């Protein structure tokens, strides 16, 4: 059982040694993905509103 835990520890240790090479670029990549989906979702909602398909309470 100890071998399994040490293997997992060694795996994560090697990953954490590589991570500083990426720096903040991975965070910017995630921000870009989230922003892209936010824009697509907003455009989709505007399209529904123009076609009168929304369920507004107004």
* N-terminal to C-terminal alpha carbon distance within the chain: 62
Q: What is the tens place of the pLDDT at every residue in 8-25?
A: 999 999 998 988 888 889
Q: Is residue 11 part of a domain?
A: no
Structural domain contains residue 12: no
Total number of domains constituting the chain: 1
pLDDT of 55 > 80? The answer is no
Q: Is 52 among the domain residues? A: yes
Q: Assess whether pLDDT exceeds 80 at residue 58.
A: no
Q: Which two tokens stand for residue 4?
A: 């399994």
Q: What is the pLDDT of residues 25-47, one digit of tens each?
A: 989 999 999 999 999 999 999 98
User: What pLDDT sits at residue 7?
Assistant: 96
User: Which pLDDT score, from 0 to 100, does residue 53 have?
Assistant: 80
How are the residues of the chain apportioned to helix, strand and coil, as percentages rounded to the nearest 5? 80, 0, 20
Provide the domain limits for residue 45. Answer: 23-58
**Quick one: DSSP state of residue 55?**
-
How many beta carbons lie within 10 A of that of residue 14, not counting itself? 9
CA distances from 14 to 26, 31, 42 (A): 18, 25, 40
Whether residue 15 is contained in a domain is answered as no
């Amino acid at each position: 059982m100890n071998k399994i835990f040490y293997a997992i520890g060694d795996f994560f240790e090697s990953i954490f040694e590589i991570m500083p090479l990426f720096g903040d670029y991975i965070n910017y990549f995630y921000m870009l993905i989230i922003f892209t989906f936010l824009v697509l979702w907003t455009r989709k909602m505007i399209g529904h509103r123009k076609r009168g398909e929304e369920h507004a309470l107004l």
